[in-house]
Structure 1
Amino acid sequence: MVKELLSPRGERGLRFLMVTLPPGAAAEEMLTGPGEKGGYVVSGRVVLTVDGQQAELAEGDSFQFDSRQPHGLANRSGREATILWIMSLLQPDP
């Protein structure tokens, strides 16, 4: 898996990344924490698992979920997949 940061690192915790998954690639244990995650499938097909529920997503599909839930991403197809991945990670109050 290749992750390319598209946004500058700001104080608000908002991140935009381009994630490329080759065929057969999977990220089963992704970073969790307070905030939200979402994305848009630019090309290919992926399987997104959030809190044990799986969704097959294809080019043009989008998603959003609470990032405290366990989640993973897999490319079970024979073609590379590209996802615009968006994270808003909230900082705990002091």
Structure 2
Amino acid sequence: MSEEIEDVLDAVGPRLRALRRRRGITLAGLAAETGISESTLSRLESGRRRANLGLLLPLARAYDVPLDALVGAPRTGDPRIHLRPIRRHGMAFIPLTRRPGGVQAYKMLIPAREAPAEPDPRTHTGYEWLYVLNGRLRLVLGEQDLTLPPGEAAEFDTRLPHWLGSADGRAVELLILFGMEGERVHVRPRTG
């Protein structure tokens, strides 16, 4: 094996540990999500076990990052961005950022429906900022039931029960900035 490949493989463990810690995930939590034992994850992060495809694929899925982000693969020189939508609850999330951790940007598409969906509020760790591009967004946030037209924005702690859907059954497009660590996003006009 070449020295370059050895260097890439040696960097995988510390990269995995840093990613897990930045996201505030325990080894036990990651083991439960991936099906990989805590001891294997610990050995992988410490460099006592070599990374292989069978270990890296479930980790890439759990962290929602491309496989090359886990191994630190060099760019191929192709400047095109290949966005792969993530589909959840009948909606499409198109990742606009590729780096792990920190604030993540998504374009969210809520498809048109004959009848608006019934709200099913959920919670998760993090903080979200959203901006409606097209359509009328229905945002159920705790006890509030809001309608946001194009050009309106909202931000909230995602530990508060929330649900996003179409206010009128038509398609909705929005931008979302999401941070696991609870970062707040503020847009301020320039002065002077």
Unaligned runs of 5+ in 1: none
2:152 aligned to which of 56, 61, 64 = 61
- 1:47-94: CA deviation from partner (whole Å, max 9, x where unpaired): 101112111000000000111111001113242110101101119xxx
Question: Once the 2 structures are TM-superposed, how far is the Cα of residue 46 of structure 1 from its aligned partner?
Answer: 1.0
1:19 aligned to which of 65, 87, 108 = 108
Say if 2:121 and 2:140, in contact at 8 Å, map to a contact too: no
List structure 1 segments (4+ residues) > 4 angstroms apart after TM superposition.
Answer: none
Alignment TM-score, normalising by the size of structure 2: 0.42
Say if 1:23 and 1:76, in contact at 8 Å, map to a contact too: no
AA matched with 2:108: V
Q: Higher helix proportion, which one? A: 2
Say if 2:138 and 2:146, in contact at 8 Å, map to a contact too: yes
1:67-86 superposed matches below 5 A: 67-86=158-177
Q: Does 1:32 align with 2:85?
A: no
Alignment TM-score, normalising by the size of structure 1: 0.81
Say if 1:17 and 1:84, in contact at 8 Å, map to a contact too: yes
Question: Once the 2 structures are TM-superposed, how far is the Cα of residue 9 of structure 1 from its aligned partner?
Answer: 3.0
56-65 or 18-27: bigger deviation: 18-27
AA matched with 1:46: L
Q: Higher strand proportion, which one? A: 1
Number of corresponding residues: 89
Secondary structure of 2:148's aligned partner: strand
TM-align CA RMSD: 2.0
